[in-house]
Structure 1
Amino acid sequence: MTSNSLVLDRDHIWKAIDVQRTNVTGLLEDLSADEWRQPSLCAGWTVRDVAAHLTLQQVGPGGAMGMIFKWRGSMDRTIQHAARQRAAALTTEQIIAQIRDTIGSRRHNFGVTYLETLSDILVHSQDIAIPLGRHLDMPADAASVAATRLLSMRWPPPLPSARKLAGFRLVATDTSWSTGDGLEVQAPMSALLLVCCGRLTALPQLSGPGAATLTARLLA
């Protein structure tokens, strides 16, 4: 697989995480009570659930074991259960305050790396903003680092959507990033990251000779 990826050092990545955390708290402060109850891009998750999940980006060994003890049959269902519990236990103001309190911290969840923290905040902030018709910038350089990680990771296991991108060459139209071999698919970097994470709302932004084939594969 050929790849042309931007490289950001750890400090730049944490700064990008802090910027996105700052932006998402500003967005959350502006939401109405009804918007907090709306569905997010994550199937079965409300905006409130996703925001509550973002308070759980610094879970240590003890917290991780606590989640395992409440296992729901899969990691996805277990994480969703933890988010819903958090969403029910905290007030709106507490959720926003706890996300804000992570700004400047360099802790990340036990068992993963800071690159997963980057992917988490970049994608989940769009999970909140897009269905509400709100705009939240996603830096192309940070998104390229997150996408490179998602498409090359072995642990945690790669997402099913990322595995479906095999056999395509992905090319960003707004930064010098590309990866893969095969039919070329072009899109803004933010859309490519969302597609890597299975967010089908970004499919209309795809273009190039492989766009229709990849869209059909992801929709199947």
Structure 2
Amino acid sequence: MSEDDYWSAVQTMRLRIADLLDTLSPAEWDAPSLCAGWRVREVAGHLSLVPTITTWELIAAGPRGRFNPHHINTVLALRYGALGGPAIVARLRDHAADRRTAKVLDTRNSLFDAIVHSQDIARPLGRDFPIPVDYARAGLDRVWAVGFPFHARRRFAGVTLTATDTDWTVGSGPTITGPVLALLMLTTGRIESALDSLRGPGVDALV
């Protein structure tokens, strides 16, 4: 995927997520997401801040987040999630084409972040939110290549992961097969959400 194709995919995802959010009821905005401790509104707020967040804003949130990246992420998600649905949707649309984020973060994470969080929102609400295979594969490539925060290579060192809808396979050991989106959800810690789509002897090691 070229750089322009990558950012086109990110823009498409942000706009589609905004369209989904536009259809939610007040109760759905406050429903639990797949992210532990985050409601749908916190996930949406997080997505809306990615293209505008500055390094200074991250540093300023440090004390409240006890200087822990996960806690800082939650502090900011709560802040932006409190803006309200219309403001969050407007932010997503207004900054859908932006190619930046805080200097201490990595824009190469923007696509998988949008893909995974779209599922974090949609699946608990019973909404179908399909992802193009090439988007999911690009996201999975990045998750597998990066260490923090998922450490996918270490966590799945004893199995072979094989996609059934594209030519993607890694690892050695008992096989886990499934659509590339299910493997992306698996490697980002959404194991329960991925299980129904996974097959193979390696699946037993997950439960």
Relative contact order: is structure 1 or structure 2 higher (C-alpha 8 Å, sep ≥ 6)?
Answer: 1
| Percentage identity across paired residues of the two chains | 37
What is the Cα deviation at residue 116 of structure 1?
0.9
2:200 to 188, 200, 208: 208
Aligned-residue CA RMSD in angstroms?
1.6
TM-score by length of 2: 0.92
Q: 1:22 aligns with which of 15, 19, 25?
A: 15
Q: Which consecutive unaligned segments of at least 5 residues does structure 2 have? A: none
Equivalent pairs, count: 205
**Given that residues 58 and 72 in structure 2 are in contact (C-alpha distance below 8 angstroms), is that contact kept between their aligned partners in structure 1?**
no
- Given the alignment of the two structures, is residue 180 of structure 1 paired with residue 171 of structure 2, yes or no? yes
Provide structure 1 residue ranges, at least 5 long, that are not aligned to the other structure. 1-7
| 2:65 is aligned with 1:93 | no
Cα distance in structure 2, aligned partners of 1:49 and 1:158: 19
Given the alignment, which residue of 38, 41, 66 partners 2:60? Answer: 66
Aligned to 2:24: 31
Match of 1:3 in 2: none
Distance in 1 between residues matched to 2:81 and 2:28, nearest whole Å: 14
Q: TM-score, normalised by structure 1?
A: 0.87
Q: Which residue does the alignment assign to 1:4?
A: none
Deviates more, 1:70-79 or 1:166-175: 70-79
Divergent runs of 4+, >4 A: none
Aligned equivalents of 1:158, 1:77: Cα separation in 2? 13
1:122 corresponds to which of 104, 112, 115: 115
- Deviation per CA, 1:83-121, whole angstroms, max 9, x where unpaired? 112222x12100100011111111133223222111110
The equivalent residue for 2:72 is 78
Alignment-mate amino acid for residue 70 of structure 1? R
Local SS of the residue matching 1:68: coil
